[in-house]
Amino acid sequence: MNETIQLADISQSVEITALVNTAYRPNAKSRGWTHESDLVTGDRTSPEQVRQQITPSSPVLIAIRNNEIVACVQVTHDSSDCWIGMLATHPSEQNSGMGKKMLLAAEAYAVKHFAPKRLMMSVLSSRSELLSFYQRRGYKLTGQTCSYPLDAGVGTPLVKGLCVLELSKLPPAPR
């Protein structure tokens, strides 16, 4: 069955929050191929954070199937770059190509609306499967490493020394 990819609005923040928290930090019964439950505890986001993040320069794209949000991704325009983040696919949809589809949609949106010099993202250092996923799609490590953002309200590390790695890629040509 096909899904529709569209811009989210703040009225969908509760649904987006539930999706993101289920994808990033699921319980043992609903885990997909990739999650960070063994690395970080607590919610990845909150409805208030999502409401504050949805702005014209930081839209969230959602995939809707059967009136349910099954995936999301955020594109944040920052000076001359665009940051892609909060890519989440419901665990039941993981390994179906949905993540790739959402990443491509985010890249296309960034190119069309913001014309960035680079596409950027951050990934937890211990997420080797996720780093490989992005590297297969042309993203490269920049060499920039940051400490885990303890004060950002995105959970608490369970692993000592957890870092965030920066990746970048040149955007595809506009279509």
Instruction: Give the span between the Cα atoms of 122 and 128, in whole angstroms.
Output: 13
Per-residue pLDDT tens over the stretch 124-167: 988 888 899 999 999 999 999 998 877 777 777 788 888 999 99
What pLDDT sits at residue 155? 73
**Two tokens at 173?**
């040509």
User: Measured between alpha carbons, how far is 96 from 77 in angstroms, rounded to an integer?
Assistant: 28
pLDDT, one tens digit per residue, over 74-92 is 999 999 999 999 999 998 8
Q: Where are the domains of the chain?
A: 4-169
CATH no. of 4-169: 3.40.630.30
Which is higher by pLDDT, 72 or 29?
72
Asked if the model's pLDDT at residue 31 lies above 80, the reply is no
- The pLDDT of 104-112, averaged and rounded, is 97
In terms of DSSP H, where are the helices of 137-174? none
